[in-house]
Structures are given as C-alpha cells and as structure tokens.
C-alpha cells in the first residue's frame, strides 16, 4: 500500500480488522455494520463477543504475529479492542495495512512507566509517582498512602496494591510476584472523570463532554454524563485530552481518565487508546456513538457530532449478577428510558463485564437512579 493510498478515506464497503474480540470490538462492529463496513476479528475464540457480529474471524492469540499477519492481509485498516497487543506485533503489521492507533501510540501507553514519563514530558499534572524498582526509595519519594501498580497488562485494578501507613512492604512485594511496577501517591479525589476524544488522520478532533465515574473494587461501576463539575474544571479536562491526542499523534480514539482533587485540580490517571467503558452511554445518548467515532477516525471520515440528546447514566452488569441464575431481563426492560446491552458472553464469572444498562432522564442524577433501579430489578 502506497503513502497516498494510506491518506485516502476508506468508505463503506471497506474491511476493518480488529485485534481482540471483546465487547469493545463487538460494539464497534455493530456500528461498522450499520454503516456498511465489513469486520474481521483476531481472537483466541471463534465465538468471542466480536466474532458473533463480524464477517470473519482469525483464531489466534493476540501475540501470535503469524495470525495477526493473516488478518492484516485481508483488511484495509486495523484497529484495537484492547491495548494488550504487543507493540512489536503492530509494527510488523504496519507495512501490510495501516494500524490505527499505531505501534508508537501503544508503546507509549502500554507500559505505565513510559506513559507517566510521556505525561511528565508534555507537562501534564499527575499524582506524585516513582519507578518502584527499589520500592523503599520509591516510598521515600511518594509517601504513604500509595498504590503500587504493575507496569504492564494491568486493568480494572488488576496488579494494584494499596500501601497504607501500616502495610508490610515485604508481603506487598511478594504479592506482586516480582513484576516491574510503579508507585503512585494515593489521591484523595473529589471525583473521577474521563474524556473520550477522537482524532482523524487530518488532525480533526471531536471530544465528548467529561463524564463522571464511580468504581467498585477497582472496576467501573457507574458513569453519568455530563459530570457534575464546574465549567472551569471541564475546560481543564478537555484541554488535557486535546493536548495528549495531539502530542501522541493519535489516529483513532483515546480515553483519558482523570482525578478531580478537592482543590479543583485535574490530574491524569491513565490513558486507553480505544473506546472506553465510560463512553458506552454515547450509544444511546449521543448523535454519534464512541464506536462510530472510532470507525470514522480510523477510516478518514469527518468526525460525527458529539451532541448529547439528554443527560444519561450507565451501570455495568458484572457476572456476579448471575450468582442465583439468569437475571430477570423482563423486570429491567419494564422501566421506561432504559436500554439493555449484553455482550454475548456465556461464562458469567464474578467481576466479568457481561453487559451494561443505559438510562436517559432530565438530569444525570435521575438517570443514575433509574439505571441503578433497573439493575436492582434484575436480581430481585
Ligand atoms: P487504574 O486501573 O489505574 O485506572 O485504577 C483503577 C481505579 O483505582 C481508579 O479508577 C481509581 O478509582 C483507583 N485508583 C487508581 N489509582 C489511584 C490513586 N493514585 N489514588 C486513588 N485512587 C486510585
């Protein structure tokens, strides 16, 4: 493929390759199919959530370069369902088909240490942090309480340990199994927010309003949009997202998770180079969903409008809800202005994201009440 071919927009009818077949790929595939694109996915399972709604599947592990090359040879552009694809594999695919976001973006984001160094270099505020090769030295710099986080492959709080004043360092270190880690000061935040931003290959950007997130056991539990923050904090958050998208030379979608401190400062927590759980409510609440936006950005279409029709809330449905059998879907669907999304996963393990519910209402608090009520109705 020549450079001028790569700068050409890919219209409907083009084939998109997705690395990883989870729910993010699935929801992007649904958006892609609505617009007449074809989808082929690489995943270890032929029945993964994305494959169920795709035109084709290449069965293989995400670090299987040969399988990834096989996918690349059949598609016009490649994108990601997860950032846990080795950047070296992406670099191998780039001569075959454009990879958006590319290996360089992944190299910056995949390793928490490199990500934090990048954010420092471009002058963005973060919690005080230090590499934890020597955890005693790192603690002396960062202080307690702190959080030790593995550098790679950590998500939804996996590979994270909190270090309180009384925590015994030896046992913490052992529980990390010798993995490389960073240490980060614990932030006594007022709220957690996130921004999803898209950037196309002509540099055009589109950004959703900041949303507000609540986690339970380190896993996202609820999101409301818009976030309950002042306009000044929203402006800070948006400027941060724009700055990162530009500096990292993003093509595709990026989620920026941030802490709002009690003093009204905005600190970057972490980056994800893909659609984000906190953007799921854009499917029901916005003119263009984050999944269509990802598609537009990687295919060179103009970004779609991010207008939000009504305030909205999203609650995640984890596998725990299946503990006493199949949830009562009818009860949730009885509620007005509530929509159910399930990801086609057959094995409902505790903590596993199985689906979500979105509710729309005159204000975000009411939307959250409605979404939580719908979720409670599932197991009553
Ligand atoms: P992460 O995977 O780093 O986004 O962490 C998952 C969640 O853990 C975050 O969304 C926060 O709720 C919490 N968390 C992570 N790092 C910190 C921190 N430095 N201070 C306070 N809470 C944190």
DSSP string computed for 245-283: HHHTT--EEEEEEEEEETTS-EEEEEEESS--GGGTTHH
Contact criterion met (CB below 8 Å) for 161 and 172: yes
Q: Where do the domains of the chain lie, and which CATH numbers do they carry?
A: 3-99 (3.40.50.20), 128-185 (3.30.1490.20), 189-377 (3.30.470.20)
133-191 pLDDT per residue, tens:
888 899 999 999 999 999 997 656 668 889 999 998 888 877 777 788 999 999 999 99
| CB of 270 sitting under 6 A from ligand 1 | yes
Q: Is the pLDDT of residue 121 over 80?
A: yes
CA of residue 187 to ligand 1 center, whole Å: 8
Select from 308, 215, 224 the least CA-distant residue to 269: 215
Confidence of residue 7 (pLDDT cuts 50, 70, 90): confident
CA of residue 6 to ligand 1 center, whole Å: 38
Contact criterion met (CB below 8 Å) for 77 and 14: yes
pLDDT value at position 2?
A: 77
Share of the chain above pLDDT 70, in %: 99
Q: Is the pLDDT of residue 1 over 80?
A: no
CA of residue 354 to ligand 1 center, whole Å: 22
Q: Is the pLDDT of residue 339 over 70?
A: yes
Select from 178, 195, 200, 201 the least CA-distant residue to 233: 195
| CB of 283 sitting under 6 A from ligand 1 | no
Strands 56-59 and 38-43, bridge-based pairing: parallel
pLDDT value at position 228?
A: 97
Count the helix, strand and coil residues of the chain and give each as a percent rounded to the nearest 5: 35, 25, 40
CA of residue 145 to ligand 1 center, whole Å: 13
Share of the chain above pLDDT 90, in %: 90
Q: Quick one: which atom of ligand 1 is closest to the CA of 257?
A: 4
| CB of 272 sitting under 6 A from ligand 1 | no
Q: Does the predicted model carry a pTM greater than 0.95?
A: yes
Q: Quick one: which atom of ligand 1 is closest to the CA of 186?
A: 20
Contact criterion met (CB below 8 Å) for 46 and 21: no
- For 27, 338, 359, the CA distances from 156, given in Å and listed in that order, are 19, 25, 23
- Ligand 1, atom 9, lies closest to the CA of 218
CA of residue 208 to ligand 1 center, whole Å: 22
Q: Quick one: which atom of ligand 1 is closest to the CA of 220?
A: 10
Instruction: Return the HEC string of 345-380.
Output: CCCCCCCCEEEEEEEECCCHHHHHHHHHHHHHHCCC
Pocket of ligand 1, candidates 119, 218, 223, 272: which has the most ligand atoms within 8 Å of its Cβ, to mutate? 218
| CB of 187 sitting under 6 A from ligand 1 | yes
Average pLDDT over residues 118-138: 95
43-101 pLDDT per residue, tens:
999 999 999 999 999 999 999 999 999 999 999 999 999 999 999 999 999 999 999 99
Pocket of ligand 1, candidates 269, 272, 277, 278: which has the most ligand atoms within 8 Å of its Cβ, to mutate? 269
| CB of 157 sitting under 6 A from ligand 1 | yes
pLDDT value at position 321?
A: 98
Q: Which residue matches tokens 């996130």?
A: 194
Contact criterion met (CB below 8 Å) for 290 and 209: no
pLDDT value at position 155?
A: 58
| CB of 212 sitting under 6 A from ligand 1 | no
């Amino acid at each position: 493929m020549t450079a001028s071919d790569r700068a050409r927009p890919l219209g409907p009818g083009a084939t998109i390759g997705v690395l990883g077949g989870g729910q993010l790929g699935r929801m992007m595939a649904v958006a892609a199919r609505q617009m007449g694109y074809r989808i082929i996915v690489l995943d270890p399972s032929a029945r993964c959530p994305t494959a169920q709604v795709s035109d084709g599947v290449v069965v293989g592990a995400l670090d299987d370069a040969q399988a990834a090359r096989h996918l690349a040879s059949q598609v016009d552009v490649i994108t990601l369902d997860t950032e846990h694809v080795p950047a070296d594999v992406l670099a191998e695919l780039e001569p075959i088909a454009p990879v958006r976001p590319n290996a360089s973006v992944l190299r910056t984001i995949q390793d928490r240490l490199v990500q934090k160094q990048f954010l420092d270099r471009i002058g963005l505020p973060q919690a005080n942090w230090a590499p934890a090769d020597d955890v005693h030295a790192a603690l002396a710099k960062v202080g307690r309480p702190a959080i030790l986080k593995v550098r790679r492959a950590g998500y939804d709080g996996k590979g994270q340990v909190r270090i309180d004043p009384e925590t015994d360092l030896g046992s913490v270190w052992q529980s990390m199994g010798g993995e490389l880690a960073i240490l980060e000061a614990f932030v006594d935040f007022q709220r957690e927010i996130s921004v999803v931003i898209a950037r196309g290959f002509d540099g055009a950007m589109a950004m959703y309003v900041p949303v507000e997130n609540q986690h339970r056991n380190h896993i996202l539990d609820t999101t409301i949009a818009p976030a309950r923050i002042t306009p000044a904090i929203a402006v800070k958050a948006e400027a941060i997202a724009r700055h990162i998208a530009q500096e990292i030379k993003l093509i595709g979608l990026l989620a920026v998770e941030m802490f709002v401190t009690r003093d009204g400062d905005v600190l970057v927590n972490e980056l994800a180079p893909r659609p984000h759980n906190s953007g799921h409510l854009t499917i029901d609440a916005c003119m263009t969903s984050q999944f269509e936006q990802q598609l537009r950005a990687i295919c060179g279409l103009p970004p779609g409008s991010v207008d939000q029709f009504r305030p909205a809330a999203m609650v995640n449905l984890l596998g725990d809800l299946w503990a006493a059998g199949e949830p009562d879907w009818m009860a949730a669907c009885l509620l007005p202005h509530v929509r159910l999304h399930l990801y086609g996963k057959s094995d409902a393990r505790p903590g596993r994201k199985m689906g979500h519910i979105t509710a729309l209402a005159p204000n975000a608090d009411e939307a959250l009440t409605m979404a939580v009520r719908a979720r409670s109705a599932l197991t009553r």
